Structure 1
Amino acid sequence: MLELTTLMIFTWLTLRVRYFHNYFKDFVLFDIDINNNVIVRWLCSFIMTNDPATNQKSTRQSSTIPTMDSFLNMKQSKSNLCSATNPLTPNNLMQFIENIPIDSSSKPHPRSGHRAVATESDLWIWGGYYPSSDTEQERMFQELWRYNFALRQWTLEQTTGDGPILTLASHSMCLFRNYLLVFGGTGFPFGHHVSNDLFVLDLKRRHWKRFRIHDQQPQPVYGASMLLNDDHLYILCGTNSWIYNSDVFDIHLPTLKCKHIGNTFDEIEDPSETGRYRQEAYLHKNQIFLFGGGGVSGISYSFEHLPVFDLATQHWSYVHTNPDPVHNFPTARKFHSIFPFHNNQVIMFGGAHFNRTTNRHIVVNDRLWIFNFEKLEWSILSSLTMPRPTYFHAAAMNERGEIWTHGGVVVESRSNDNNNIHYNETRITTLYAMHTRVPNLSELAWNYFLNSLPDRTCLIKQPKLMTQLHIPPRFIERIH
């Protein structure tokens, strides 16, 4: 009850803080620890000094101190003030919501096949592909983009060193401490350039290094999966366009020594198929589960039987899963995403499957699915959908449980004069975000604070401002 009362007081205060600029003084921020939850509240006493809009000077000794109401009633036409976004607009955080950059002029070109990781403060995307069109030639993007969550701002980062040049699509990527690990990938034409080098980007220095893997090297592939477990990096599956595999390699990161610990298995859905690419892999209790993926014939693998690699026995097996009682199993797919969701569960969305009749990829529906490892059961989130179903997108989750997904391919239909429907694949650069768990109160307070600012760039232009406001260091470090 005390927490609820405190949050209500904070909410009322935040509603009052609709404007913010460098003339505010005595803006006090402090923490209160209640039941192991940090609640950040703002207590504001505003005294304006040297306001150029009024050409008057106010001091602490002045007998006339503007109240909050009088401040809010000032004309919005003043050049140094602008209205902030309503910080308390109700949103269901447990669904995908488009996150629109403050400056829409600087953002990545539409793309697919790129990959993403998320740190506490930023979403990082690397690479990508854009096909030829009437106005553009096909493009491969040797680009590192960073999206700062707090500033809602994209930045094209300049890097140095020996980074990937020709293998910029369908690579595998993950975050190890403060390093970006990139393996494999392809260029255009797909399969023409393929790599088995391990590239490491120091995110602080923006510097690339190329490392050769020792001993039993994986084959050059694209569409592989990467998983981290302590100091071990597992690389599995992938293709070079002709041969598909489901091999498993264990790389000890401190020494870069690699062992081939798992062999390609025969698929039970189609005995002529072996190997997968653009599948999703997830490590659960020392077992690696494979979800979906594609094969040499264009097949997209279903979810009734999941391949499982046991790291202890180093053997593949299959587990039979249970369908949703109403919606059965998810549609077979590849180019999708899977992330942890609550206890012993993962959430799955996006992807496409190949239609052999029309010889084209069909985007799956907009539904979100849950898989429970304890029950080996699928269930659909009936109340949640994707705003625009995509595949070949880039998605990542940060430690707060926020899923961020960028770009990818959407399929748009249109009819011609003969009422024939044509489907066009379009690359996008839209950014969506959703929460997989309820944010703690300090995060809610931080977001309310940011949404109360008329111009978030003031946090960059005045670097000492947040320290003067006694904002906790862990939030200050997110602004860069």
Structure 2
Amino acid sequence: MLELTTLMIFTWLTLRVRYFHSYIQNFVFFDIDINNNVIVRWLCSFVMTDDPTANQKSAQQTATLSMDGLINLRQTKAGLCAASAFLIPKNLMAFFEEIPIDSSDKPHPRSGHRAIATESDLWIWGGYYPANDNQPERMFQELWRYNFALRRWTLETTTGDGPTLTLASHSMCLFRNSLLVFGGTGFPFGQHVSNDLFVLDLKRRHWKRCRILDEQPEQVYGASMLVNDDHLYILCGTNSWTYNSDVYDIHLPTLTCKHIGRTFDEIEDPSETGRYRQEAYIYKNKIFLFGGGGVSGISFSFEHLPVFDLTSGRWSFVQTNPDPIYNFPTGRKFHSIFPFHKNQIIMFGGAHFHHLINRHIAVNNRIWTFDFEKLEWSILPKLTMSRPTYFHAAAINERGEIWTHGGVVSESRSINDINNYTEKRITSLHKMHTRVQNLSELTWNYFLNSLPDRTCLITQPELLVQLGVPPRFTERIH
């Protein structure tokens, strides 16, 4: 009750303020009577209205809710028009492009980079850009940070002993307040391959190369890396000539490593052993593999999933059930998966190798879910990616926001001519929500979107204190 009261007071203060120093005039578009629960009803208009996995209110109910809220808002006609952009319900689960406020300062288009997300920022490291008629080939030894509140990219300066030659298809994950990077390759791909583990302190921006004890993982790129408690699991990958599905367990406090799983023979193609650029997920002490590529260029399907049991130390396969209408997802690699609703993951993006034209083609823009309890695939029919992408960098934060950056898109001059497909690297940033935001987050986002100049959050932080903005929000601004 106290937390709700604090939230409502914060909302009320935010909406009632007439002037935010010299930056905002007529900031408030309407007055709110805090005693009639309009605040809660107003905030509810922001909630996902087209989540295909949840029970939905009809359009008539939604319209009624919005109108009820508006009737209780004592506002002028002009104020209503100004506020309407914030009151229109929209499907927050859909991917939409996030446009940085300063579009001139952003990462160069790239692929093969990796990302992690903290409460306040998206971090990307590395990446590759091929040579073309206008620009030389590039590998990016860069750490970029995108601050969610400021909607601003920053190229960070780092110190210490970090990766230099292996800046593409490395593995990356977040452990406490550190970024972990393992393996990777440079160009020409496979010429430089690494089995080094690097740790970047995100507060100090300082790199450290770790000395792994006991058994050493193979030098690979395209491996998967998962953190579970104090254990770091590294599995699969390639050195460009051989592929593996080995599993290594690194105890992070001691950096001791054990080789706990051996490469298995694929049942989809017995001549294939090992994978790279697959996605992995831990569920009930078992590691599930999703997709990936092999030595022949194959993109593994999703009908049978390899599963590594962390208790027994053995690989096996589980047979999955298709979507009753859309069957199984297209086999792919260079895609993304993230936790979704209870017992589920969400999957999107990726590419498969087209042997006729000898190149990778992006799969469709469909978004899938997989239920671990039912072992069943389902498509989200009303949701799609903004554009089919592969070799992108993607991450999810604790609020359930998925952020994707860059990658490769396939373009064709002719719909019927597959020989005219070309690849293009992009630097677009997209975002989607995997769950409904809580009221305080909705209020914070409304407040940010109402600011004509977000630099005031940096230049005059005392104003946020005066407004009573909770520290957990102000700490996100840096």
Is this contact kept in 1: 2:282–2:288, CA < 8 A?
yes
Distance 1:87 1:275, change over 3 A: same
Instruction: Give CA-to-partner distance per residue, 1:110-129, whole Å, 9 cap, x none.
Output: 00000000000000000000
Kindly state the Cα deviation for residue 437 of structure 1 after the two structures are TM-superposed: 0.2
The alpha-carbon deviation at position 69 of structure 1 amounts to 8.3
Distance 1:413 1:13 in 2: 52
Change (3 A) 1:327 1:420: closer
Structure 2 unaligned residues grouped into runs of 5+: 29-33, 44-73
Amino acid in structure 1 at the alignment position of 2:121: D
Matches within 5 A, 1:151-170: 151-170=150-169
**In structure 2, what is the equivalent of residue 440 of structure 1?**
438
> Which AA in structure 1 matches 2:472?
R
Aligned partner of residue 445 in structure 1, secondary structure: helix
Name the residue aligned to 1:269.
268
Corresponding residue of 2:22: 22
Tell me: CA distance 1:218–1:384, structure 2 relative to 1, closer, same or farther (3 Å): same
Query: Quick one: structure 1 residues 331 and 474, their matched pair in 2 at CA, closer, same or farther if it must change by over 3 Å?
Result: same
Report the secondary structure of 1:95's partner residue. Answer: coil
1:460-479 matches, cutoff 5 A: 460-479=458-477
RMSD: 3.1
Task: Give the CA deviation at 1:17.
Answer: 6.8
1:384 maps to 2:383 = yes
What's the CA shift for 1:88? 3.9
Q: How does 1:180-195 map to 2 (within 5 A)?
A: 180-195=179-194
Which residue number corresponds to residue 106 of structure 1? Answer: 105
1:23/1:94 CA distance change after superposition, 3 Å = closer
Partner residue in 1 for 2:215: 216
Matched residue type, 1:238: G
Q: Segments of 4+ in structure 1 off by > 6 A? A: 3-19, 37-41, 418-421
SS at match of 2:420: strand
- Alpha-carbon offset, residue 466 of structure 1: 1.1
- Indicate the residue corresponding to 1:458 in structure 2: 456
Helix, strand or coil for the counterpart of 1:459?
helix
Amino acid at match of 1:212: R
Amino acid at match of 2:432: M
- State the TM-score, normalizing by the size of structure 2: 0.85
Deviation at residue 21 of structure 1 after TM alignment: 3.7
Rounded Cα–Cα distance in structure 2 between residues aligned with 1:5 and 1:422: 60
- Residue 239 (str. 1) matches residue 238 (str. 2): yes
What is the one-letter code of the residue matched to 1:424?
A: T
In structure 2, do the counterparts of structure 1 residues 461 and 331 end up closer, same or farther at CA, with 3 Å as the change threshold?
Answer: same
Q: 1:209 to 1:343 in 2, by over 3 A?
A: same
Letter of the structure 2 residue corresponding to residue 214 of structure 1: L
Cα pair 1:87 1:452 within 8 Å, conserved: no
Tell me, yes or no, if structure 1 residue 405 matches structure 2 residue 404. Answer: yes
Structure 2 CA distance for partners of 1:19 and 1:468, relative to 1, 3 Å: closer
| Secondary structure of residue in 1 paired with 2:345 | strand
Post-superposition CA distance 1:216-257 (Å, at most 9, x none): 110110000000010000000000000100000000001000
Residues 126 and 139, structure 2, Cα contact 8 Å, conserved in 1: yes
1:422 Cα deviation from its structure 2 partner? 1.4
Structure 1 length normalisation: TM-score?
0.84
Deviation at 1:266? 0.2
1:396 and 1:183 map into 2 onto residues whose CA distance is 17
1:435-462 Cα offsets, whole Å, 9 max, x none, are 0000000000000000111111100011
CA distance in 2 between counterparts of 1:214 and 1:393 reads 32
**1:113-262 counterparts in 2 under 5 A?**
113-262=112-261
CA shift in 2, pair 1:320/1:415, >3 Å: closer
Contact 2:143–2:157, Cα closer than 8 Å, also in 1: yes
Say which SS state the counterpart of residue 413 (structure 2) adopts: strand
State how 1:311-326 maps to structure 2 within 5 Å.
Answer: 311-326=310-325
CA distance in 1, matches of 2:315, 2:418: 47
Instruction: Tell me whether 8-17 or 263-272 shows the greater mean CA deviation.
Output: 8-17
- Tell whether the 8 Å contact from 2:14 to 2:467 is kept in structure 1 after alignment: no
Deviations 1:143-189 (A, max 9, x none): 00000001100000000000000000000000000000000000000
The verdict on how the C-alpha distance between 1:185 and 1:435 changes in structure 2, with shifts beyond 3 A counting, is same
Q: Distance in 2 between matches of 1:218 and 1:5?
A: 53
Q: Is the 8 A contact 1:88 1:448 kept in 2?
A: no
| Corresponding residue SS for 1:133 | coil
Q: Is contact 1:306-1:318 (8 Å) kept?
A: yes
Name the aligned partner's letter for residue 338 of structure 2: F
Distance between the aligned counterparts of 1:24 and 1:346, measured in 2? 42
Q: Which amino acid aligns with 1:331?
A: T
How far off its partner does 1:328 sit?
0.4
Change (3 A) 1:450 1:303: same
SS at match of 2:441: helix
After TM superposition, give the deviation of residue 90 of structure 1 in Å: 3.8
Aligned to 2:64: none
CA distance in 2, matches of 1:273, 1:101: 44
Identity value in percent: 79
Looking at structure 1, the residues matched to 365 and 261 of structure 2 have their Cα atoms a distance apart, in angstroms, of 34
The structure, 1 or 2, with the larger RCO (C-alpha pairs under 8 Å, 6+ apart) is: 1
- Preserved contact between residue 10 and residue 468 of structure 2 (Cα < 8 Å): no
CA drift of 1:469 comes to 1.4
Partner in structure 2 of residue 427 of structure 1: 425
In structure 2, do the counterparts of structure 1 residues 102 and 90 end up closer, same or farther at CA, with 3 Å as the change threshold? farther
Could you report, residue by residue, the CA deviation over 1:334-366 in whole angstroms, capped at 9, with x for unpaired residues? 000000001000000000000122211111000
**1:30-69 counterparts in 2 under 5 A?**
none
Task: Report the CA distance between 1:464 and its aligned residue.
Answer: 1.6
- The 8 Å contact of residues 294 and 334 in structure 1, kept in 2 or not, is answered as yes
The answer on whether the counterparts of 1:15 and 1:87 sit within 8 Å (CA) in structure 2 is: no
Q: Using the alignment, how far apart are the partners of 1:85 and 1:127 within structure 2?
A: 41
Provide closer, same or farther for how the CA distance between residues 421 and 14 of structure 1 changes in structure 2, counting only shifts above 3 A. farther
Is the contact between residue 300 and residue 353 of structure 1 (CA under 8 Å) also seen in structure 2? yes
* Unaligned 5+ runs, structure 1: 42-67, 74-82
CA distance in 2, matches of 1:23, 1:264: 61
Distance 1:40 1:217, change over 3 A: farther
Counterpart of 2:445 in 1: which secondary structure? Answer: helix
State the SS of the aligned residue for 1:467.
Answer: helix
Shift of 1:22: 3.5
Cα separation, 1, equivalents of 2:182 and 2:8: 48
| Contact map agreement 1:19 1:454 (CA 8 A) in 2 | no
